[in-house]
Structure 1
Amino acid sequence: MHGSGTANEPDQEFLALERELAVFLRRARAQSGEMAREVHPELEPAAYGLLVRLDATGSQRATELAGYFGVGKATMSRQLRALEDLGLVTRDPDPADGRASLVRLTEEGRARFRRVRDARRERYRRKLAGWDRAEVAELARLLHQLNTGAEDAP
């Protein structure tokens, strides 16, 4: 039976998925580095994803960001401090909890991020010009499903 897999015959679909994701992730890391440097020459690659999330949410607690990205609080604090030092994010007191703060993009951070994001979107448009819009939407949906599953996984 195809796809059932045994100890001697691993599921080819999952091997193919692993192989393609490995290539995708390697390229994505390299591109994140490029995009981070385009936002600010001193920005580390991982910080670009933080800017994406803050642009989408408006503001979030550092603990929420750490949970979303699956990193520890110390790592998140260090990354946010670096973004703050560059003037790209700021912290405001959380009205729901005076002990906590909400992180948000500064005007400068938002402007720099959106300039790079818009240029990146244009590159995707060119790269996927031969794709049907429904295929692009399906890829986005499947990646969202994969990401959501990763958030929920133990």
Structure 2
Amino acid sequence: MPGRDVTLGTIQRELTAFARRARHKAAQIHPDLSLVTYSMLDHMQASGGCRGIDLAEHFLLDKSTVSRQTAVLERLGLIVRAADPADRRGQILRPSAAGLRLLEEAHRQRRETFEERLADWGDEDLERFAGYLRRYNAEG
């Protein structure tokens, strides 16, 4: 049985490979979107809209980075801005119709990829894998 250091090294390499594939897939979906920008768009949709500061807090990013990324999304017509009813000075960011279509296509492609990569896995393996991912992400 490998030692803890060897196992942690394997986990690090495999998660790095996973991140590389995710960045590559994001570029295939839309060449002008980075994985971070796509993730922000996805978060806006999942949260029903949010402020830039919410994105900065969620992704642990500087406000200026979020501002640049949301400017890209706006320039591409993928988000819309609306006045924040709780704070007239703020704005709520939401995916536009084009942004929602892009997210739908991205989700479809991701699902196909997962189905292909995990086709040989049994239900118990999938459930364990999903549980480990939830546990890993919850402890962050």
Q: TM-score scaled by structure 2?
A: 0.85
Q: 1:127 to 1:110 in 2, by over 3 A?
A: same
Within 5 Å, which residues of 2 pair with 1:45-84?
45-84=35-74
Q: 1:72 to 1:129 in 2, by over 3 A?
A: same
Q: 1:131 to 1:114 in 2, by over 3 A?
A: same
2:14 aligned to which of 10, 20, 25 = 20
Q: 1:67 to 1:141 in 2, by over 3 A?
A: farther
1:98 aligned to which of 85, 88, 99 = 88
What's the % identity of the aligned pairs?
34
The residue matched to 1:90 in structure 2 has which SS? strand
Deviation at 1:67, TM superposition (A): 1.3
2:27 aligned to which of 30, 33, 37 = 33
What's the counterpart of residue 108 of structure 2?
118
Q: 1:21 to 1:42 in 2, by over 3 A?
A: closer
1:11 aligned to which of 5, 10, 14 = 5
Deviation at 1:48, TM superposition (A): 1.3
Question: What stretches of structure 2 of length at least 5 have no aligned partner?
Answer: none
Q: What amino acid does structure 1 have at the position aligned with 2:57?
A: G
**How many residues matched?**
139
Q: 1:25 to 1:43 in 2, by over 3 A?
A: closer
| RMSD of aligned alpha carbons | 2.1
Question: What stretches of structure 1 of length at least 5 have no aligned partner?
Answer: 4-9
Highest Rg: 1 or 2?
1
Which whole-Å deviations, capped at 9, do the CAs of 1:16-62 have from their partners, x for residues lacking one?
22122222222222222222x2xxx4333421111221221110111
